[in-house]
Structure 1
């Protein structure tokens, strides 16, 4: 199941982004719906990864055995350490600039997005560049909202949309091999 470690990390952070940022100015009923959907998406990610992890591939191996494994070595550790330093240092700088509190989630989304760029190269997985660009743009957009005098919706843009995009992207990336495996098994076969 270690090949799904990155999926679990991404899903956990996606859920955290949604849960932490679904407050005002969102209507409380809409905020609750978004939180429930985020939790359901996390459950879906875990369920799909468990099914895919146990399903035998047509050649007798495991599905995804031919894909490069994500390496969590020293380079990964250095990227994550730099990410933490940038997040904490940036939040301190925002505080010194008397930026509204809403700027913090925008900065976090921007830095999290940027940290995926070197990891995409290290892991040789171009698909992660989509996440890197998506989070970076939403983080920058939120910061632009904050510094242009419109901070109220910045947590929704940089937090909720970032988290929802991460969860949705992970669900799709797991659902495609799940559904293609079911089709390959045939109409009368049962896929585990």
Structure 2
């Protein structure tokens, strides 16, 4: 029995999820006591490299257009506008948080905006993005709540960054293991 063919966009999504998963882990683990950052970063990089190798291998072996139902979402106007709105939201919110001395919440704001951006993808592209958006948005909100309950900046960052990183790495892994683009 041959492995199911994943759409090219799903394989690109696996690669993007792997890269951003590592970025979130690095950001979230920065303030933790040694050797925790090193351990979680090494694990994240190993997982991400495995995901990237598998995704690139499948992309190279897939015939053009394999498993896709039309044009790439990455080439669409809706994708570009959603990402532009995300970038504006990230920048504006981060400037405001910094200005009010709330830098510890930048990571939470970033997760909230990224979550909302995926909710937009769910509306425009595929319903599966609603789940991604809801989870990442929820992690950002949990980070805020942890901070409001008195947690330190490193704890806020760990909850938010490690939560988002783990979700993106696990979602990318699940996509490859299931052979379907369900994150």
Both proteins in one fold, TM over 0.5? yes
Task: Write the distance in 2 (CA, Å) between the matches of 1:44 and 1:127.
Answer: 23
Task: Write the distance in 2 (CA, Å) between the matches of 1:177 and 1:160.
Answer: 25
1:177 is displaced (CA, Å) by 2.4
Match of 2:97 in 1: 94
Q: Deviations over 1:161-191 (max 9, x none)?
A: 101110111011112229xxxxxxxxxxxxx
> Structure 1's 43 and 67: CA in aligned 2 closer, same or farther, altered over 3 A?
farther
Q: Is 2:20 the counterpart of 1:13?
A: yes
**1:113 aligns to what SS in structure 2?**
helix
| Matching residue within 172, 175, 178 for 1:176 | 178
| Matching residue within 165, 168, 183 for 2:167 | 165
1:77 is displaced (CA, Å) by 1.0
Task: Write the distance in 2 (CA, Å) between the matches of 1:154 and 1:10.
Answer: 22
Q: Is 2:70 the counterpart of 1:76?
A: no
How many residue pairs match? The answer is 171
1:10 is displaced (CA, Å) by 2.4
Q: Report the TM-score when normalising by structure 2.
A: 0.82
Task: Write the distance in 1 (CA, Å) between the matches of 2:98 and 2:33.
Answer: 28
Q: Report the TM-score when normalising by structure 1.
A: 0.78
> Structure 1's 85 and 64: CA in aligned 2 closer, same or farther, altered over 3 A?
same
Gaps in structure 2 of 5+ consecutive residues: 1-6
Match of 2:108 in 1: 106
Task: Write the distance in 2 (CA, Å) between the matches of 1:120 and 1:171.
Answer: 20
Greater relative contact order structure (CA < 8 Å, 6+ sep): 2
Q: Deviations over 1:55-114 (max 9, x none)?
A: 56xxxx689615565412211111111111111111111123221x22111110111011
Match of 2:133 in 1: 132
Larger radius of gyration: 1
1:53 is displaced (CA, Å) by 2.8
| Matching residue within 39, 42, 62 for 2:45 | 39
Do the aligned residues in 2 keep the contact of 1:18 with 1:38 (CA within 8 Å)? yes
